[in-house]
Every structure is written in structure tokens, then in C-alpha cells.
Structure 1
Amino acid sequence: MTTSHTGWINFLRQYGPIPRNDNMYDETIQRIVNKKNISPILIDAKYLKELIENFRSEQPKSVVLTGTAGDGKTYHSREVWLDLGGTYEQWEMPGNIKTLPIESHKTLYVIKDLSELENHEREYLVLFAQAIKHQRSDVVFLIAANDGQLIEALKQIDEHSDAVGIRKVIEEMLVTEQKEHTEYGVYLYNLSRISAAWALPQVIDAVMNHSGWQDCNHCQYRDHEDIHQRCPIWENKKRLEDVDGTKTIRDRLIDLLELCEINGIHLPIRQLLLLVSNMILGHPDVKDKLMRCQDIPDIIEKRTTVKASIYRNVFGENLIERRREATVVFNTLGRFGIGNETSNKIDNILIFGNDDPELKDLYQELMLSDPYYGADTTFKIQQKAYLEGIAEDGGAEFLDLVRSQRQRLFFSIPRDKENELKLWELTTFQYAGEFLTKVYRAVHQGAKPPSQILSRLVRGLNRISTGLLTRTQDKLILATSGSHSQAKVSKIFESFISVMRDRGESVQVKADPSGRLNLEVSLSSDPAIPVVKLHLQLIRYEFLSRVAEGALPGSFSRECYEDILAFKSRLLKQLDERRKQEQEQDDFEINDMSFHIIKLNAEGVLDKKTVEVLF
């Protein structure tokens, strides 16, 4: 074996979940690049071209880069600096503020990290305020900061005569996600708005296409004719590179990341690099839990290549639990419960598929076809011992292998078998695939969700609103307990809202300008009665769908339940507004003392019964 050319693998390990000072992450990677003469992992920086064009223009504006740690603020700043003529040596010199003359005969001030600004350097923020107010035409700024630091720093100069109002302007741009201000000379780029689902393929391609893989050309383990002698690093690389052309690993990962974003969870580029590095190099029995070339002979000899499975590494299974939970990307992906959740069919295939004639073809396709990470020798031995009841540990080791296989199947079940095998039952969110493809993406492409999905959501809302197991789904039922709207069972009928558009009433799923999905209930065509919106993210969709099908998922039901009741309260408030308007328009006072009781018929459909109050 050739182990002398291991620089690339050692470099790739630096992106993985190894202990480091995160504040120096970018600088540490850059020093290794320069010291070892290794090509950096270059990812398409979404806004870099725009930034450079701005600073090269005749009338450049100042730029503020915001975002969480790992979003690329330092990377963008340094690349702008280098492109405009600054040197790496100057960038690395002590000092948080760098200056550079640029083509427009202005001086560019770069504040590398606003959190490291010293008290005596606050005057530069006043200069920044003067620049964006057009009071100083000779200077322009590039500032990197997270949102909180930025507003806090601007507060400290708020009283200065030249900086009055600047904090409010920047704060408003942040809240409204406004990139450019019409009056002030400033751009604001929030790098946290870069979609992880968009960025992941860029990260994968950058790692897969790196010239460093040429180091592996002469390794005897690279594509050994004996499958059990093959290098797991290279095997993981091939699977992520998509050698077979199916792209299932990538596509399923993108699905998971997009669902995270819909739920308001942002994963920065740094976490995606960590994820990809760990997927390729992860193994629980080696130093730092990340493989090096010199580890491969021992792994092969001990037959522990299965522990390097890319399908386990995607969830950080190579790490100790404490480390895994402390790493944002693994903690986030872990919430999908992949490996712990299953269906009877999947487990029957994994456990009994080799002996069951009805499952044998699926067992062949899903397990035996992958002797490296699927039904390898260890799995077959443990399976046999488990079925014969002779496993020394009571089958614990085999069940752990089954858990790993569920993880593998989530990323390898072919698209044409997703529905047959109920792919998303391998996750905590059984309706996630439907929500993503038939609702979220459909609405963003200008289509409407299928009518049966909207009906199910309405049925779920009706069950929560009334506390009754109703099957009514063509109209939304508003009901109270007579005392307050938060009661678990509400039998006092208030109103029906038609799901299909009817005299201004409707229930629809729409996307707002920010891209968020909402369930919108319209009670009137009168613009004075605004639409009532419920933000429809994955957890609420799952909750409503499960309630509609008769189950209450206890793990996240309380929060969702309270959210839906709050939504119901807002609907009742708008209903009161509508009634007031109707009374004013009819110009008479209603003295009728009656109310309606909701009743459930034999088919589960809700109806109302009028009760008159006599004096």
C-alpha cells in the first residue's frame, strides 16, 4: 500500500468534527493550504462576484456581511480583499481593520470581525455612518458581523451626531431582508439566507472534484478485486460521487435539508463541509473518529469496514453521543429519527427477507446487492444467530445492525419503490415526503396541493377545534365551549367556513413573499376583514395530518396543539369583526336568544342543533 501521499486525506479531516477554536476556523484552514501547498476546497460563493463588482465600480457602496458562524463572512471578506489587490500576508498581519486603496480613488476599510473591534476603534463606525450617509465620499466599508453584534455596536454610536438613525436603518434592512437601501449607500448581505439545500451540491462537487484524490491512484486498496479488501474512504467517495448515476444519497440529503429550512433551521456552509468530510472519513475506532490512510490496513484486517458506512456517518454515528449532539448538523439530522423509526415491511425485509419467498426479491435488491455495507458476512452471521435464538447477547448486536440498515435504506431505496416501501415511515415525520413534494414545492411552482390533502388538513383542524372525532372536511368549523375558546371540547357552534371559495370564504395553502407557506382562511370578501394565516411548516403539517387520521403524536403534540388553538382564537376574533360589520350593514339589533349545539352523527359528520333560551 502507498501511504506517503496522504496530504489530501489529512487536509479533508480538518473540515470534520475535530476539536478546534471555531473563531480561527477559516484562518486555520488557510494556513494549512499555504503551508502544505494544497489546493483549497473552492465552493461557489453566492455573492462574491456581486461584491467584487460593487467595489470595482465607479460609485461603490459600503457592504455589511451578516450571518451565523460558518456562513462564510471571513471567506467573502478575504476573497474581496485579495481580488482588489490586497495580499494574503497583509490579511494575516495582526489587526482587525485593514485598509486598501481601490480603483474609484476611495479607501476601502475592511472590518474582519466586528466582535473583535476595540473600544478605541469605535470611531471607525462613525466613519462608516458618514460614508453611507454620503457625508464622506473618500471612504467605503466592508464589515463582517453577526446580527446581534451589528445592532449592539451601532447602538453605541447612536448618539453621535453623524450616526443618528443608522442603527434603525440597518435594523430595518435586517428585519425586512432588504439588500439595498435607496437613500443610504449600503448593501446588506445576510449569508444565513443562503439555502443549505442549494449549497450542499456545491460542497459535494467541490470535495469530489478536488485534485487531491489523485493521491489515491496508486493505493492498492482503492478498487481491490476482493471487495473485503477495499478502502472504505474510496468506497464512500464513490457513493457520494454518484458513480451509479442514481443520486439517491444527494437527493435524500437535499430533501432533509430543505425540510430543516422550512422548519426555520439554518445550516451554514461550515456545517455542510463538516458533514461531507464526516460522511467520507467517519469511523468510530480511529483517532478523532476520522480515518487516515494509515488506518485502512487495520480496519480491513479487523473486518470493521461496515463501521465506516457513509449511511451511518451522515448522522455522526461514528462520534460519541455527547459530541454528536453538540454538533449542529448531526443534532439537526438526528431529529428525523432515521434508524430508530421503521415500518413492519422494512423490518420484515431486513430480518426475515432471506427466508420469506414473498420478500426474497426485495431482500436481494435492497440487501444482497450491497455486500459492502448491506448484507455483509457479519450481518448474515448475526441474522442467522438471531433467528435461531442462539445469539449470545440476546440479539442486541444484530438489532443494532438492523438500525444501521434502516439508515442505509433511507438513502438507497430506489425512487420507484418509495411509495411501495413507505420510505418516510423510516423517519419521525411520516408525511414529510408528501409535504415537501406535493405541498411546499407544488405551491412554489404555482400549483395547488391535491384536494385530498387540503381536506385532511381541514379535518385535522376541525378535530382540534371541536375536540370531537369528526370526519367533516369540506368546511371549517368554529366552535367554543361557551366560556373560552381554549377548552379541549367545544360544542357551542359559532360558524361554518367554506373550504371552496364561496362569498368571500375559502381555505387555501399559499406562499407569502418571503417564501413561507401558510394555511390561509378567508372569512369575507371585505378587505377590512383580513385573512387569518397559520404558518404551515413540517411539524404542524405532520401534527394536523396525524390528528386527521386519528392519532395524537405525543412527542410534539402539546406545542402544536397550543399553536392551533391560538390560530382558532384569531379566527374567532375575525368572526366577531365580521358579525359586527354585518349588524351595522343590516342596521338592526338582534334580540334572538338562541345558540347552536354541535352534534356528531353516525357517519362522523358534524351538524348543529338550535337551542332557544326562554325568559
Structure 2
Amino acid sequence: MNNFVAYLNTLNNANSSNENALAEAQITNNYYKKFHVERNLGFYLAEKLKEKPTCVILTGHAGDGKTSLVYQILKSLKMIEEGSSLKKHEQKYSIELERDLLYIKDMSELMEEKQLELLRKAIKGKKDGVSSIVVSNTGPLINTFRQLIKIGHIKNVSEDIAEMKLLEVMDKNSGVEITVGDSEILLINMARIDNVVLVPKLIDRISSDELWEGCTNCQKVDACPIYNNYKSIKDNKTNVNSFVTSYYRWLFELDRRLTVRQILAQLSYSMTGNLTCNDVSESSSSEMKFRYHFSNLFFGYKGLEVNEEARQIRAIEELQELNLDSKETKYDYDFFVKNDFTHLTDSTKEVAFEIWDKRSQKYRLKPVDFMQTDEPYQLRKAIRRMNFLFGRFNEETTNYLLDQLFSPVFSNYISYRSKKVTVKEKRNVKATIYKALNFILVGTHLEKDMGKIYLPLQRHGTGNQNVQLLLGELNDNDINVDQEYLGSIYDDDESHYEINLIFSSGKKFKIPLMLFDYFNRISLGAVTTSINPSLSHGIDTMKSQLFNDYKYRDENEIIRLLIHTLNGPKLIKLQIDQLELFVD
């Protein structure tokens, strides 16, 4: 019996046994110390509290790890014993700080009057040499700040100005102290923190040898699907990390960021499927290993069937919406025609081949029965899921697979995010964006490099226009692509490069993954492609700015027409002088 299995089953919401899904319950569990990943942000804030009296405020969404962070900070300051629970609020002397520290576990647990009293005490305590840590959701935090200003406890600022200042700080999330009126705070927005960087650490913890030692002496270990999942991850951790991290990065770039709690829910469920040790017997078959294989559980399946309970886990629901396992890959021929499963790791190959062979025999014996079901299709999807997580990939083949599954530019974008691009890479990115901008602005694909992009007046919904009135133009040297390094002062794991499109006018536009993907599809000849409303708004803003910055500013009124001919675009200039028309 391994009690860690029971602990994992309490970390997800796929059934009712999720008492440890909340941090308040987790920190008192015996496994918390072994499983918990300490955050660099916690070390940073502890150091800030040591430097001088500081009011730290943590805000964000439920499940973002605010309570766990408070616990980590208090433990590092030796103000709480391992496994002890946090009080709703407490002020006590810290030997490490050589001063009092007040912590408020969660403002939303307090009555409004108590919120006002304690937030005032936390903010004003700095002047009395008292440090503080306050946890609050965004709404209650702003409302309480407004109330404190209204009754005069925070001076020299209006309610509206203070609210705008707080929202601006939450958006930038720089990790430095700011002044609101006559008060200083260090505000951290946990909802803006990149949780994807934690995923490899979480997978390391969930597959730590120490936590699975209890299984080695179990008589059921060879038949156990849970232990098989642990072994499968150990055998192929690099590729498991790569696929899982890439999936979470894709959601992050889609503005569907997951909280730490939501990530943990999927990973814990994928290890056990909420099976207990008692559910496994020595005679458990390979069919059970297949049904509860990590690759199936991670996607919310039990074998070939969708598990509706698993869809309660948001990360699983999002993954099923992507339909990644329905996409054909270059490995399909080996698996489904040649019945060659050598690309899978040994432990996964054993399960996959036995299930495939058994099902294939049934198909051959009763082909009509199986032609009337989607079971063969679902089986192919299951094999693909196994390959995504437990295939034998090197860096090149991993990138090829991820580009097939997510976006043709996905692996390049991840590379550009993590390191300085070469001159060649920068030129390639610029060429892609240049072609896309020409189509977006002119409405036609660039047949040859003209050294400039025209800015014509376009009519919407009328198809291609053979003749267009020109309002301005961009030269090739007006456009540049560069990287900006965004360093995090509180967590170097979050530091990364950002791709920017820079114009000679000085205007700069960030190129996130989804916009890069959109530009790439357009540059390759796509006429229409979907784009989310926020990116569409960003493109419209860019177009408006370009028309304003690069419009013609002739002293003499010249009318320019762009005529699209079979031999390519042709520019005609018209000038009117009284009753005469001059054409160039």
C-alpha cells in the first residue's frame, strides 16, 4: 500500500475525494513537504521582507498558489512549523526579521469591517516597523483600498487614481514597491505569473523515487497500472516534459492560462486515474494498464472512451477541444500499416502492441461488426496519444511533432523565446511578416519583392480590387524585427525574449505566438484564417497607426493609383491643374 497514491487522488476534482485540492488542506498533509515545489518568488519576497519593513500584497485568481506562497515565506522565516495550518490572520515577532510580521491568509474570509481594519494595519504598520503579507482577490482589494481612501486612512490620492494605479501595477507585475498616496506596498499579481515554468519541477516531484519506494515490495507491482505510469515517465521524462510543457505553453499563448491547482489536477489524475491500491489485483490485465495508461488519462480517456468525470478537470477539457489525437502524423504508417511499435519506449510498446494485436485479431474475425463502430478510429487515436508522450524523440523530431500538433511556427517561437536569434532567423521572421503585411494592407499576395508595401484605400467585402487609391507607402527599411529581453527580478525562470515588430516611426508592436502563426499562414498563401478578437483589434490598431505615420505628405496634390495587372502591380501618378490631367 502506497499512501502517496491516495494523496494524489485528493488533488483533482474528477471525483468527490479532493480534500487536498485546496492549499489550506495540503499544507497539513504529510506528503506536502515532499511534493511541494518552492517558488523563486517566495525566496525573493522573503529577502524583501528582511531588507526593511515591507507590506507585501498577493492578489490573483483562486488556485494560483497564494496561500502556499505565504506558507513558504513563513516557513523560510522560521515563523511556522512544518505541517502547521495557517490562521486567518496573525501578528507575531520574527527573529529572522527582527520585527513583527502580520499575515492575512485570505481577505475574502473576513467580514468587510475586519478587511478594512487589517488592511489599514498592514499598510500603516510599515511606519511602525511592522512587515506584513496580505492575500486578497482583486475585487475585494480594490474595494477596500477605495474605502480606506474615502475615510482618510490613505491620503494624497483619489479613489479612481488609486484604482488605476493598482490595476496598472497588477498588469506590469514588476515586483517592485510602489507608492499609492502616502502608502508604500509591494503588490504581486499571481494571475500574471507564468506557471508553465513550474511544470518540469512538478513532474520531477510526482515521479520522485522517494515517493514510490512503497510500491517496490508490493506483490501487485508488476500488474499495477499506477506503478506502470510512474515507470513510463521515468523512462521518458524528457519527452513527457516536452509535450506537457508545450501543451500548457499553447494554452498560455491562447490566453487560457491555467492555475497551479488546475495543472496539478491534471497531472495527479493522469498518474492514478483515481484508482486506489485496493482497486488493483495481481491478476490485473494489460487491458487495465491500457485503460489507465498515463497517455489516456492525460487526455481524459479510459482506454478508448472519454471519461466524462475527467472533463471536470479544466486542463483535460481544454485538451480534448484541441483534438490533437485526431491529427495524422508521420508515424501513423509505421504503427497502423506495418504494426511496428518500436518508436515507443519499451514499457509503453509492450502495452500498445498487446492491445493493438488483440483488437486487430477481432477486426479480422468479425470485420462487419467493427465497420459499424468507431472503435478502430478510437484505437488509432489512443496509439497516437501514447506516441505523443512516450515516443522516442530527439530534439529535431520533437520539434517536428509539436509543429504538426500546435502550429508550424511553434518550435521556432519557443526557440526565439528562450535565446537570442541569429541574423538568418531574424531575416526569415521579417520576410514572413513582410509578406503577411503586404496581403493585410494591399489585399494581394506578394508575387515579387518590390522593396515597399503600399497603403491603399480598401473596400471591405468586395473581393479583390484591380484599382486602388494609394494613401501612403512603407519602404523595406521602414520595417525591422528585433528581440527584447524581459527579465524577471523575482524569478529568472520567467525571464524570456519577446519578438517585436519595429517601424522607423518608432512604433513597436509585440508579436505573440498566435499573431506569428497568423502572419505565417498568410505569408504561405492563406486567403482567410481565423484569429481571435484581441489579435484582430491589435492588427487594426497597427494598420491605423501605419496609415497615420506613412501617409503621403506631398506639397503638390498627387493622386496615386495602384493597378493590379497580369504582369504585376503598376503605379500611376495623376496631377490635375485646372482643366489639365497629367499622368506619370
1:595 — aligned with what?
560
1:273 — aligned with what?
264
**For residue 338 of structure 1, what is the amino acid of its counterpart?**
L
Q: What is the CA–CA distance in structure 1 between the aligned matches of 2:457 and 2:80, rounded to whole Å?
A: 71
Aligned-residue offset at 1:218: 0.8
1:520 — aligned with what?
501
Q: Given the superposition, is the C-alpha separation of residues 126 and 327 from structure 1 closer, same or farther in structure 2, using an over 3 Å criterion?
A: same
**For residue 296 of structure 1, what is the amino acid of its counterpart?**
V
Per-residue CA deviation, residues 556-585 of structure 1 (Å, 9 max, x unaligned), is: 478756653442222112213xx44xx5xx
1:285 — aligned with what?
none
Aligned-residue offset at 1:155: 1.6
Q: What is the CA–CA distance in structure 2 between the aligned matches of 1:542 and 1:46, rounded to whole Å?
A: 32
**For residue 398 of structure 1, what is the amino acid of its counterpart?**
P
Kindly report which structure 2 residues correspond to 1:467-478, keeping only aligned pairs within 5 A, or say none: 467-472=443-448, 475=451, 477-478=453-454
* 1:510–1:519 contact (8 Å) kept in structure 2: yes
* 1:236–1:309 contact (8 Å) kept in structure 2: yes
1:190 aligns with 2:189: yes
1:572 — aligned with what?
547
2:333 to 321, 344, 348: 348
Q: Given the superposition, is the C-alpha separation of residues 348 and 323 from structure 1 closer, same or farther in structure 2, using an over 3 Å criterion?
A: same
Return the structure number with greater strand share. Answer: 2
Per-residue CA deviation, residues 514-556 of structure 1 (Å, 9 max, x unaligned), is: 757344241x4xxxx33242x3222222222122222356554
Helix, strand or coil at the partner of 2:301: coil
* 1:478–1:496 contact (8 Å) kept in structure 2: yes
Q: Given the superposition, is the C-alpha separation of residues 78 and 475 from structure 1 closer, same or farther in structure 2, using an over 3 Å criterion?
A: same
Aligned-residue offset at 1:74: 0.8
Q: Percent identity?
A: 16
Helix, strand or coil at the partner of 2:232: helix
Q: Given the superposition, is the C-alpha separation of residues 83 and 376 from structure 1 closer, same or farther in structure 2, using an over 3 Å criterion?
A: same
Tell me how large the CA RMSD over aligned residues is: 3.7
Per-residue CA deviation, residues 577-597 of structure 1 (Å, 9 max, x unaligned), is: xx44xx5xxxxx3133x2121
Q: What is the CA–CA distance in structure 1 between the aligned matches of 2:562 and 2:430, rounded to whole Å?
A: 26
Q: What is the CA–CA distance in structure 2 between the aligned matches of 1:310 and 1:206, rounded to whole Å?
A: 16
1:42 aligns with 2:36: yes
Helix, strand or coil at the partner of 1:220: coil
Aligned-residue offset at 1:336: 4.2
**Unaligned 5+ residue runs, structure 1?**
225-229, 283-289, 355-362, 584-588
Aligned-residue offset at 1:144: 0.9
Aligned-residue offset at 1:86: 4.5
**For residue 341 of structure 1, what is the amino acid of its counterpart?**
K
TM-score (norm 2): 0.82
1:329 — aligned with what?
315
1:29 to 26, 35, 52: 26
Q: Given the superposition, is the C-alpha separation of residues 518 and 474 from structure 1 closer, same or farther in structure 2, using an over 3 Å criterion?
A: farther
1:12 — aligned with what?
8
2:92 to 88, 92, 100: 100
Per-residue CA deviation, residues 122-168 of structure 1 (Å, 9 max, x unaligned), is: 12222233234x3xx14332101233332222122121323133656
Aligned-residue offset at 1:511: 3.1
Q: What is the CA–CA distance in structure 1 between the aligned matches of 2:277 and 2:170, rounded to whole Å?
A: 46
Helix, strand or coil at the partner of 2:13: coil
**For residue 173 of structure 2, what is the amino acid of its counterpart?**
E
Q: What is the CA–CA distance in structure 1 between the aligned matches of 2:398 and 2:23, rounded to whole Å?
A: 46
Per-residue CA deviation, residues 454-501 of structure 1 (Å, 9 max, x unaligned), is: 32232122223222233345745233336x6897646334444333x3
Aligned-residue offset at 1:387: 7.5
TM-score (norm 1): 0.78
1:440 aligns with 2:421: no
Aligned-residue offset at 1:401: 1.1
**For residue 542 of structure 1, what is the amino acid of its counterpart?**
D
1:74 — aligned with what?
67
1:250 aligns with 2:230: no
Per-residue CA deviation, residues 392-422 of structure 1 (Å, 9 max, x unaligned), is: 1315111101112222222344444855994
Aligned-residue offset at 1:101: 2.0
Kindly report which structure 2 residues correspond to 1:509-588, keeping only aligned pairs within 5 A, or say none: 509-511=482-484, 513=486, 517-522=498-503, 524=504, 529-533=505-509, 535-552=510-527, 554=529, 556=531, 563-576=538-551, 579-580=552-553
1:51 — aligned with what?
45
2:343 — aligned with what?
366
For CA contacts below 8 A with separation 6 or more, give which structure has more relative contact order: 2
Stretch of structure 1 that moved more, 82-91 or 192-201: 82-91
Q: Given the superposition, is the C-alpha separation of residues 476 and 405 from structure 1 closer, same or farther in structure 2, using an over 3 Å criterion?
A: farther
1:380 — aligned with what?
357
* 1:540–1:560 contact (8 Å) kept in structure 2: yes
Q: What is the CA–CA distance in structure 2 between the aligned matches of 1:487 and 1:558, rounded to whole Å?
A: 22
Aligned-residue offset at 1:212: 3.3
Per-residue CA deviation, residues 293-336 of structure 1 (Å, 9 max, x unaligned), is: 12222882472321222122222334956655543322444454
Q: Given the superposition, is the C-alpha separation of residues 339 and 564 from structure 1 closer, same or farther in structure 2, using an over 3 Å criterion?
A: same
Q: Given the superposition, is the C-alpha separation of residues 47 and 474 from structure 1 closer, same or farther in structure 2, using an over 3 Å criterion?
A: farther
Q: What is the CA–CA distance in structure 2 between the aligned matches of 1:334 and 1:247, rounded to whole Å?
A: 23
Q: What is the CA–CA distance in structure 2 between the aligned matches of 1:313 and 1:610, rounded to whole Å?
A: 65
Helix, strand or coil at the partner of 2:281: helix
Q: Given the superposition, is the C-alpha separation of residues 440 and 212 from structure 1 closer, same or farther in structure 2, using an over 3 Å criterion?
A: closer
Q: What is the CA–CA distance in structure 2 between the aligned matches of 1:384 and 1:148, rounded to whole Å?
A: 60
